[in-house]
Amino acid sequence: MVDKHMRREARNRKSEIRNKHEGSKSKSPNGSSGQRQRFGHSGLGFRISIFGLGALLFAAATEDPAVGATAGANNDSPLQVASEPPQVEPLRIDVQRAILLAMENNKSLIVQRMTPEISRTFEDEQRAVFDPVVSGQGSQRRTVADRLSRAGSGIESQIADTATGLIAVDKLFSTGTTVGLDASTSYTDSSLYSDTFVSNRLGISVTQALLRGRDVRVNLAAVHQAGIDTQISEYELRGFMEALVQQVESSFYDYALAQRQIGIYTDSLRLAEQQMAEAQERIHIGTLAETELAAAQAEVALRRENLITARSNLARERLNLIRLLNPSDPIDWDMEIQLEYRTTLPDTPLDPVEQHVEVALKMRPDLNQARLLIRRGELEIVRTRNGLLPRLDAFVTYGKSGYARTFSDAVNELDGISYDVEAGLLFELPAGNRAARARHTRATVSRAQSIKAMENLIQLAQVDVRSAYVVVTSTREQIAATAATRQFQEEALRVETEKFRVGKSTSLLVAQVQRDLVASQIAEIRAIANHFKALVALYRLEGSLLQRRGLSAPGSQPVTLED
């Protein structure tokens, strides 16, 4: 009996703590839990009183249920010493600051920003083909051999030491011309002669492509293609940034929606508990049948279930928003977030849908990437067409030589009469040239495929923008419709409650009307959140989201096929 009594007291103590905790959470920060804001019409826009039952639109901050659980555990154990956690300032953000935090700290964006930098290295690599190339060579050789005597009879031994050195500079020009400068020296010391022998040579060579490799566009095609690849990576980065901004704004409003849903479910739970208490009182005094209590109890249980689900959803949305913003390194996953935002919809009417489509055809990153791929394919055709030609190069070399016993004397002899000249042609053509023909055919078909792909992409872009425009228009109309529905449901609940108090209604009917009111309140705040999200989606699909948010990024200039 003593154990049962102690367990009963422990349960009662826990129940008191939980009731206090629920009561503290039901109060809004500004103490206006019983007030409700209204929607009003003003010209083309709406004055938004968002969602009532507490604070401004999406502004109610809810208390983490884990805190209450921890407090209850500490109170249950009198021997446990509770240590207060360090106070951490909550993260207060509006939409603009949330976007800036993501632009600075988001890990995925940091990775994506490196792609254009990597692409520029390929551009430099292709330009390096036209950089001068310096080469050098040095060697030393000893030869030991028997040879016929210079007297004409007998054999004599010869030991010859030879040292050679060569340095050259070669440069390829975009005209298909290769120019080379070289300087060489040779030193020979033979046992057959008493003197050493030194020869020095200065030379120049010029090679000019006459067929394959003669066109400047051909020789610069790889450089231009690498530059186009860099531009494509910049437009990819721009598309990634626009998608990230959309994710941040959508997550911002989803988190705000989750906060307001908790406020609505908390107020509805309190109302259901009041209805159940009133039913119990009336049953006690005999003015209501006991069968009415079951419906009221079921409604209280349902509201608690909805509140638990809403808290779980809020926790998930908070984690997702923290990951996108990455406000600290390492991330504090328990960070509290307080949202700040406007409470009215933009009064500026939407432009006609055709203007949004026109902007999309110019600014969408994927369309600009498609145009760049077509231009890249044109350069590939130029390159492969050049491969169909045979190689025919003309070359000429000229050199001056000096011979003497020492290196310095050989240098002085360079202005003598010794020289060498060589000129000629070099021809090359693989039999059938099948590989070059295959490459050219592949380049031609690939370009035609890119053109058709861009035409299909243009159609998809038009569908995307027009569909997003329809969603924006629909969500704006839904705001007024859901506000009216919520107002009618409030009146229906008031009437049904009065009928119940005079005995002309039942607890089941009152619970049903309460449920309809909660659904209308959720639909109202969801319509507003969906409208903001639909606007962001429209701006992203037309490629203007970054400009509208005051952000600069690579790939801001539209691409035309005539560039």
Query: What is the DSSP annotation of 507-557?
Result: HHHHHHHHHHHHHHHHHHHHHHHHHHHHHHHHHHHTT-HHHHTT---S--S
What SS3 state is found at 166? Answer: strand
Q: Give the pLDDT band of residue 84 (cuts 50, 70, 90).
A: low
Mean pLDDT of all residues in 19-25: 42
- Confirm if 275 and 498 have CB atoms less than 8 A apart: no
| CATH 1.20.1600.10 domain residues, the chain | 2-78+94-116+226-370+453-548
| Tens digit of each residue's pLDDT (9 = 90 or more) over 103-113 | 999 999 999 99
Torsion angle in degrees (nearest 10) through CA of 482, 488, 493, 494: 140
Tokens of 188: 């020979």
- Quick check: 269 pLDDT over 60? yes
**Average pLDDT along the chain:** 82
Q: Give the pLDDT band of residue 22 (cuts 50, 70, 90).
A: very low
Q: Give the pLDDT band of residue 347 (cuts 50, 70, 90).
A: confident
| Tens digit of each residue's pLDDT (9 = 90 or more) over 31-66 | 333 333 333 333 323 333 333 333 333 333 333 333
User: What's the pLDDT at 496?
Assistant: 87
For 470-476, the CB contacts below 8 A with 24+ separation are 471/534, 471/537, 471/538, 472/350, 472/531, 472/534, 472/535, 472/538, 473/350, 475/527, 475/530, 475/531, 475/534, 476/345, 476/531
Tokens of 187: 């030193």
What SS3 state is found at 236? Answer: helix
- Quick check: 80 pLDDT over 70? no
CA distance linking residue 508 with residue 272, whole number of Å:
12
User: What's the pLDDT at 556?
Assistant: 84
Backbone phi, psi, residue 87, to 5°: -75, 120
| Tens digit of each residue's pLDDT (9 = 90 or more) over 300-323 | 999 999 999 999 999 999 999 999
Of 414-418, 425-429, 477-481, minimum mean pLDDT range: 414-418
CA distance linking residue 407 with residue 249, whole number of Å:
78
Of 57-61, 177-181, 432-436, 471-475, minimum mean pLDDT range: 57-61
| Tens digit of each residue's pLDDT (9 = 90 or more) over 510-539 | 888 888 999 999 999 999 999 999 999 999
The pLDDT > 90 percentage for the chain reads 56
- Quick check: 88 pLDDT over 80? no
- Confirm if 92 and 340 have CB atoms less than 8 A apart: yes
The pLDDT > 70 percentage for the chain reads 82
Q: Give the pLDDT band of residue 154 (cuts 50, 70, 90).
A: low
User: What's the pLDDT at 79?
Assistant: 34
| Tens digit of each residue's pLDDT (9 = 90 or more) over 538-562 | 999 999 999 999 998 888 888 887 7
- Quick check: 69 pLDDT over 60? no
| Tens digit of each residue's pLDDT (9 = 90 or more) over 93-152 | 999 999 999 999 999 999 999 999 999 999 999 999 999 999 999 999 988 877 666 656
- Quick check: 213 pLDDT over 60? yes
- Confirm if 472 and 538 have CB atoms less than 8 A apart: yes
- Quick check: 249 pLDDT over 90? yes
| Tens digit of each residue's pLDDT (9 = 90 or more) over 486-514 | 999 999 989 988 888 887 888 888 888 88
Range 2-78+94-116+226-370+453-548 has CATH code 1.20.1600.10: yes
User: What's the pLDDT at 197?
Assistant: 84
Tokens of 36: 């409700």
Torsion angle in degrees (nearest 10) through CA of 266, 272, 275, 280: -110
- Quick check: 18 pLDDT over 50? no
Beta bridge partners of 424: 395
